[in-house]
Structure 1
Amino acid sequence: MDVEKIFHMKEGVDETSYAKNSSLQKKASDMVKHITLETIQEIYVTTAPKSLGIADLGCSSGPNTLSTIKDIVDTVERESRKKLCASPEFRVYLNDLPTNDFNTIFKALPDFYKELKNGTSDGCPSIFIAGYPGSFYGRIFPNNCLHFIYSSYSLHWLSKVPPALYDEEGKSINKGNIYISKSSPSQVSQAYFRQFQEDFSSFLRLRSEELIEGGRMVLILLGRRDLDHVDRGNTYLWELFSRSVAVLVTQGEVEEEKLDSYDVHFYAPCKDEIEDEVKREGSFEMDRFEMFELEVEDDKEGGLSYGSAVAMTVRAIQESMIAHHFGEGILDGLFENYGRMIDEEIAKEEIRPITFVLVLKKRMIGS
Structure 2
Amino acid sequence: MLETGRFGCSSGPNALLVFREMIDSIDTIRKKLNKKEPMFQIFQNDLFSNDFNTLIRSIPSFYEELRRDKGGDFGPCFIAVMPGSYYGRLFPAHYLHFIHSSYSVHWRSQAPANLVSEFGSPLNKGHIYLARTTPKSVHEAYLDLFKRDMTLFLKSRSEELILGGRMLFTMIGRDASVNLSEDQVSNIYELLGMTISDMVQECGPNDSLLQIIAGKKKRATPHEGLIEEEKLDDWNMPIYLPTPEEVRHVIQKEGSFHITRFETFKVTWDAEMGDDDLQMRGKYAAATIRAVFESILTTHFGEEIMDGLFEKFASKVSQYMKLHEGEYFNILVSVKNG
Shared topology, TM-score over 0.5? Answer: yes
Residue 123 of structure 2 aligns to a residue whose secondary structure is coil
Is 205-214 or 174-183 further displaced after alignment? 174-183
Q: Distance in 1 between matches of 2:232 and 2:165?
A: 43
Q: Give the direction of change, closer, same or farther, for the CA distance of 1:222–1:261 in structure 2 (3 Å limit).
A: same
Partner residue in 2 for 1:291: 264
Matched, 1:141 2:91: yes
Partner residue in 2 for 1:201: 151
Partner residue in 1 for 2:336: 361
Partner residue in 1 for 2:22: 72
Q: Specify every segment of 5 or more residues in structure 2 that has no aligned partner in the other structure, as ranges.
A: 203-219, 221-225
Q: What is the aligned counterpart of 1:105 among 44, 55, 72?
A: 55
Partner residue in 2 for 1:281: 254
| Contact 1:181–1:230, Cα closer than 8 Å, also in 2 | no
| Contact 2:168–2:333, Cα closer than 8 Å, also in 1 | yes
Q: Distance in 1 between matches of 2:180 and 2:114?
A: 19
Q: How many residues align?
A: 312
Partner residue in 2 for 1:327: 302
Q: 1:280-327, CA deviations, whole angstroms, 9 ceiling, x for partnerless residues? A: 000001111111111454487xx9722211111111111111111011
| Contact 2:132–2:186, Cα closer than 8 Å, also in 1 | no
Q: CA deviation at 1:234?
A: 8.3
Q: Distance in 1 between matches of 2:11 and 2:279?
A: 23
| Contact 1:54–1:92, Cα closer than 8 Å, also in 2 | yes
| Contact 2:251–2:257, Cα closer than 8 Å, also in 1 | yes
Instruction: Give RMSD over aligned pairs.
Output: 2.3
| Contact 1:284–1:361, Cα closer than 8 Å, also in 2 | yes
Is 149-158 or 306-315 further displaced after alignment? 306-315
Q: What is the aligned counterpart of 1:249 among 173, 188, 200?
A: 200
Name the TM-score, length of structure 2 as normaliser. Answer: 0.87
Q: Which amino acid aligns with 1:282?
A: G
Q: CA deviation at 1:348?
A: 1.1
Q: Distance in 1 between matches of 2:184 and 2:170?
A: 16
Name the TM-score, length of structure 1 as normaliser. Answer: 0.80
Identical amino acids, percent of aligned pairs: 38
Q: 1:119-170, CA deviations, whole angstroms, 9 ceiling, x for partnerless residues? A: 1232553111110000000111110111100000001100000114234676
Q: Distance in 2 between matches of 1:233 and 1:141?
A: 43
Q: CA deviation at 1:105?
A: 1.1
Partner residue in 2 for 1:191: 141
Q: What is the aligned counterpart of 2:5 among 49, 52, 55?
A: 55
Partner residue in 1 for 2:233: 260
Q: Give the direction of change, closer, same or farther, for the CA distance of 1:230–1:204 in structure 2 (3 Å limit).
A: farther
Q: CA deviation at 1:250?
A: 3.9
Q: Give the direction of change, closer, same or farther, for the CA distance of 1:293–1:227 in structure 2 (3 Å limit).
A: closer
Residue 56 of structure 1 aligns to a residue whose secondary structure is strand
Q: Give the direction of change, closer, same or farther, for the CA distance of 1:233–1:317 in structure 2 (3 Å limit).
A: farther
Matched, 1:317 2:327: no
Q: Specify every segment of 5 or more residues in structure 1 that has no aligned partner in the other structure, as ranges.
A: 1-50
Q: Which amino acid aligns with 1:60?
A: S
Q: CA deviation at 1:78?
A: 2.1
Residue 263 of structure 1 aligns to a residue whose secondary structure is coil
Q: Distance in 2 between matches of 1:154 and 1:233?
A: 26
Q: What is the aligned counterpart of 1:269 among 242, 245, 250?
A: 242
Q: Distance in 2 between matches of 1:280 and 1:74?
A: 35
Q: Give the direction of change, closer, same or farther, for the CA distance of 1:339–1:299 in structure 2 (3 Å limit).
A: farther
Partner residue in 2 for 1:41: none
Q: What is the aligned counterpart of 2:39 among 67, 73, 89?
A: 89
Partner residue in 1 for 2:208: none
Q: CA deviation at 1:233?
A: 8.7
Is 231-240 or 128-137 further displaced after alignment? 231-240
| Contact 2:199–2:227, Cα closer than 8 Å, also in 1 | yes
Is 108-117 or 349-358 further displaced after alignment? 349-358
Q: Give the direction of change, closer, same or farther, for the CA distance of 1:322–1:171 in structure 2 (3 Å limit).
A: farther
* Residues 141-220 of structure 1: pairs in structure 2 closer than 5 A: 141-167=91-117, 172-220=122-170
Q: 1:308-366, CA deviations, whole angstroms, 9 ceiling, x for partnerless residues? A: 11111111111111111011001001011111111101101222221111101112xxx
Q: CA deviation at 1:227?
A: 6.8
Is 52-61 or 163-172 further displaced after alignment? 163-172
Residue 333 of structure 1 aligns to a residue whose secondary structure is helix
Residue 147 of structure 1 aligns to a residue whose secondary structure is strand
Is 329-338 or 250-259 further displaced after alignment? 250-259
